[in-house]
Amino acid sequence: MLPPVEPLDPDAAISIRGLVKRYGTFAAVDGLDLDIRRGEIFALLGPNGAGKTTTVEICEGYRRPDAGEVRVLGEDPAAGGRRWKSRLGIVLQSGAGDSQLTCRELLQAQASYFPDPRDPDEVLELVGLTEKAKSRGRTLSGGQRRRLDVALGIVGRPTLLFLDEPTTGFDPEARRQFWSLIRSLRELGTTMLLTTHYLDEAEALADRVGVIARGRLVEVAVPAHLGGRENAPAVVSWSEDGVRRTEATATPTAFVRDLASRFPGEVPELAVTRPTLEDVYLRMIGDPA
């Protein structure tokens, strides 16, 4: 007998049941269930070709599912009207590109499609492009273009923002600035669905992460608990008699206490580590490495 299918969650920002999308005979999404709560940042992780973009584009109303049910802000994306669309912000993988318009003109044009847009100059400030207000899109660096993409995604004051690999090409400082922008949007109540290949980004930003592999959701958890991470053994390492030593232990506190009693002062080069999000993720998706 098939397991009972939970009904769609009417309070969720996104609720998906049994989603299937085929390209020919290949099922890119193969029976996916997912709920994204209002106000949360949800990171969708998965290897290339896992079905993330297909799922996100179905939620945005760009692609039609072959089976299953989807509700985004309470509506079926396949039937979503203009009002519904105006509540979404979308930052695609390939962005604004080489426009002849200036950054401010692009934002003004985009803002004109929305009933209650943000001030374009405030948005430029938010993404750190104030000095580029009069620059044409095509003169921006790769990272600046990506910021412009984010600006275009949020100028309509979206309730729900889709961010598809938003920080690809950012330098480390720009990524940190982007993260604080995302956190300030959350404080304003924006729900965000983020796809990323940067595990540190997911860990830094996401309230919950979901791992997709071969078109199915493998697990949903808070980043610290994914793959049973919180209960995984810790690895204690230190130096003794000129040799680097390591010990995997379920009780690192007791182990370190014993270890400390053997040394008159500091334990040389003491470190206690747990599996990173990347470690558990690679294990979950069956990385051969």
Q: Does 185 bind ligand ATP (CB under 6 A)?
A: no
Name the nearest CA neighbour of 41 among 181, 180, 206.
Answer: 206
Q: How many residues bind ligand ATP (CB under 6 A)?
A: 10
Q: Which is nearer to ligand ATP, 37 or 197 (CB)?
A: 197
Of 49-57, 65-73, 120-128, 262-270, which part binds ligand ATP (CB under 6 A)? Answer: 49-57
- Judged by beta carbon, residue 48 or residue 261, the one nearer ligand ATP is 48
> Residue 211 is inside which H or E element, if any?
strand 208-213
Q: Which residues have a Cβ under 8 Å from the Cβ of 237 and sit 6 or more positions away?
A: 244, 245, 246, 247, 269, 270, 271, 272, 273
Contact between 52 and ligand ATP (CB under 6 A)? Answer: yes
Among 49, 97, 115, 228, which residue interacts with ligand ATP (rule: CB under 6 A)?
49
Per rule CB under 6 A, is residue 231 in the interface with ligand ATP? no
Q: Which is nearer to ligand ATP, 53 or 190 (CB)?
A: 53
Q: How near is the Cβ of 164 to ligand ATP at its closest, in Å?
A: 8
Any contact of residue 280 with ligand ATP (CB under 6 A)? no
Helix (H, G, I), strand (E, B) or coil at 165: coil
Residues 134, 130: Cα–Cα separation, whole Å: 9
Check residue 53 for interaction with ligand ATP (CB under 6 A).
Answer: yes
| Residue 26 and residue 192 in contact, taking contact as beta carbons nearer than 8 Å | no
Q: Which of 14, 19, 51, 162 binds ligand ATP (CB under 6 A)?
A: 51
Burial class of residue 105 (count of CB atoms within 10 Å of its CB; 0-12, 13-18, 19+): middle
Of 142, 277, 271, 150, give the one whose Cα is nearest residue 201. 277
Question: Using CB under 6 A, which of 34, 43, 50, 199 touches ligand ATP?
Answer: 50
Positions touching ligand ATP (CB under 6 A) are: 23, 28, 46, 48-54
